[in-house]
Amino acid sequence: MFKKNLLISVISLVFSGASLASTISNAQITRMNLSELRSALDKKDITSEQIVSAYMAAIDKDNHHGKKINALITLNTDALSQAKAWDEANHGGKANAPLAGIPFIVKDNYDTKGILTTGGNLTLETNKPARNSFVVQKLLNEGAILIGKANMSELAASYGWMGYSSVGGQTVNPYNPLRDTSGSSSGSAAAVAAGFAPFALGTDTSGSIRGPASVTGTVGLRPTLGLTSRSGVIPLSLTSDDVGAITRTVSDQAIVLDAIRGIDPSDKATEFVEHPVDKFSHSVASGSLKGKKFAVLDNFDGGNPDIDRIKNEAVNQLIHDGASVTHIRLPAEFENLWSLVLGPVGTAEFRPQFDAYLTTLGNGQPKNSTEFLSVLNKLTDNGKKTINPGRYKGLIDSIETITTDSPEYIGILTQRIPHLRSELLKIVQEGDYDAIIFPTMSCPASVIHGKSDKDYICKSSDSYAASYIASSTGFPEISVPAGKAIGNVPVGFSFMGKAGDDLKIMQFAYQFEKNN
């Protein structure tokens, strides 16, 4: 029924916007970056209605048909009428905001007023929030047009089934139907890669923006923790939860970050970081690699020969562009951050933070995790749909475990995390490094659960391990396309900086992207 309703919505939206007179084709529109879309809108070469219609046509072609990417859970059926209203209101001149009239997609753990927000879980499949999340509202205030909600790993945790949810099913990699799009912002990355939207919002707790971006040939940024607000987003673990975007280019990333960043009284983390006055998008292209010094992280080598090859090629490219590099190995504790930090903190925080979120929902929705689990058990017992068994077990463990007052949890927050930040900062400062660089993941996109692919090689016990460094310290990291592995799957390369270095690493990524 979900797929049928989504198909009907797409068809009606596409045909209602099909009578536009522009000579620019749908294919041309869906290949434009954000600056090109802005320029074409301001010159009246295209309309917002035409842009939305073009992306809806792409969704109709390849979401449940064609490539069957299955990136979207639901659509905003008012998107075309909202685009048309924007066109009418802005008939006489240029828009004041870079994203005005431009469509976007959000991961389905962001609250969207009057539009389903499920987190990919059956229990919330009728949940229509009364308000938008903070960053979604900021985009709407700019005049951007929300066109749909993206599938995701269930409640933002994959447990081996990357990009699968009991509501949306399995998201498929646009580059290889046997491979997944990593997790948990799987649908967001797949949607941008497939041309369903020029950008999409995701969330990142332990690599969930960077990993999906890496395996789909897109750009993913985990900002400095606190640069963007998490309010109105289904939480997983607020010590590490972060909000950001997946885009086609680094310059697009800067444009979106300018739109969504800012202080939010409802998220205290935003009050403890510096919020630059100047726009990132104004200076992202002004950086240089010449004379810069990078630390090449070697702790996670050996997972896959293509990844190691692309790493070497990326390093050589940076040297060719005038940078110097030093190969380093971080202390062993940085190789085990899931067990030392993210795992125990996530288990401790999920229930109280999830309970707080559930209290914000309307009538008919569970008000605490006990009610949530009771409803979920009834739905799965009835065989309505399958929940990832690993995710279900993880959910049970988190709900049944209340350890936010435990010495281990308190010790991690008050001692271990500050120690890790201090140690990493010391390494960067003593080496006078401008950034730490490494392959975003130590293995390519993995094989979808239940399928096989003889080309897949992964000798790493956890291909996300490098991502846990930024997640545990709150440092920013950007993943930018660097090449392809066997099986036609993209591979991303990361630049990680100190807290507050968001512009700096975007500038490096921009130059790398331009020259690679």
Per-residue pLDDT averaged across 71-95, rounded?
A: 92
pLDDT given for residue 2 in this prediction: 42
- The answer to whether 146 and 115 are in contact (CB under 8 A) is yes
Domain contains 503: yes
Q: Is residue 214 helix, strand or coil?
A: helix
Per-residue pLDDT averaged across 86-108, rounded?
A: 90
pLDDT given for residue 383 in this prediction: 62
Q: Is 107 marked active-site?
A: yes
Beta-bridge partner residues of 273: none
pLDDT digits (tens, 9 = 90+) for 298-354: 999 999 999 999 999 999 999 999 999 999 999 999 999 999 999 999 999 999 999
Per-residue pLDDT averaged across 206-216, rounded?
A: 99
How far apart are alpha carbons 449 and 179 in whole angstroms? 9
With 50 as the cut, is the pLDDT of residue 17 above it?
no
Per-residue pLDDT averaged across 4-17, rounded?
A: 49
pLDDT given for residue 3 in this prediction: 45
With 80 as the cut, is the pLDDT of residue 94 above it?
no
Q: Is the peptide bond before 53 cis (omega within 30 degrees of 0)?
A: no
Q: Domain of residue 487: give its range.
A: 26-515
DSSP string, 305-340: HHHHHHHHHHHHHHHHTT-EEEEE---GGGG-HIII
With 60 as the cut, is the pLDDT of residue 209 above it?
yes
pLDDT given for residue 96 in this prediction: 80
Domain contains 321: yes
pLDDT given for residue 95 in this prediction: 77
Domain contains 12: no
pLDDT given for residue 6 in this prediction: 56
pLDDT given for residue 9 in this prediction: 52
Q: What confidence tier does 381 reach under pLDDT thresholds 50, 70, 90?
A: confident
pLDDT given for residue 367 in this prediction: 97
State the catalytic residue, choosing from 9, 133, 153, 184. Answer: 184
Per-residue pLDDT averaged across 489-508, rounded?
A: 99
- The answer to whether 160 and 388 are in contact (CB under 8 A) is yes
How far apart are alpha carbons 451 and 177 in whole angstroms? 10
Domain contains 8: no
Per-residue pLDDT averaged across 419-425, rounded?
A: 99
pLDDT given for residue 484 in this prediction: 99
pLDDT given for residue 121 in this prediction: 97
Domain contains 5: no
Q: What confidence tier does 19 reach under pLDDT thresholds 50, 70, 90?
A: very low
Residues 6 or more apart from 272 whose CB is under 8 A from it?
Answer: 226
DSSP string, 243-295: EEEEESSHHHHHHHHHHHBS-BTTBGGGGSS---SS-GGGTGGG---TT-EEE
Domain contains 335: yes
Per-residue pLDDT averaged across 407-435, rounded?
A: 98
pLDDT given for residue 189 in this prediction: 99
Tell me the Cα Rg of the chain.
22
With 60 as the cut, is the pLDDT of residue 477 above it?
yes
DSSP string, 23-87: SS-HHHHTT--HHHHHHHHHTTSS-HHHHHHHHHHHHHHHTSSTT----EEEE-TTHHHHHHHHH
pLDDT digits (tens, 9 = 90+) for 241-291: 999 999 999 999 999 999 999 999 999 999 999 999 999 999 999 999 999
Domain contains 21: no
pLDDT given for residue 10 in this prediction: 52
pLDDT digits (tens, 9 = 90+) for 49-73: 999 999 999 999 999 999 999 999 9
State the catalytic residue, choosing from 165, 208, 214, 369. Answer: 208
State the catalytic residue, choosing from 9, 48, 53, 107. Answer: 107
Q: What confidence tier does 403 reach under pLDDT thresholds 50, 70, 90?
A: confident
Residue type, 46: I
How far apart are alpha carbons 124 and 154 in whole angstroms? 11
CATH of the domain at 81: 3.90.1300.10
Long-range contacts of 406-410 (CB under 8 A, 24+ apart): 406/348, 408/344, 409/344, 409/345, 409/348
How far apart are alpha carbons 244 and 445 in whole angstroms? 21
Domain contains 190: yes
pLDDT digits (tens, 9 = 90+) for 27-43: 999 999 999 999 999 99
pLDDT given for residue 167 in this prediction: 96
* Tokens standing for residue 406: 């435990």
The CA dihedral of 327, 212, 272, 135, to the nearest 10 degrees, is: 150
Q: In total, how many domains does the chain have?
A: 1
With 90 as the cut, is the pLDDT of residue 293 above it?
yes
* Tokens standing for residue 188: 């967001």
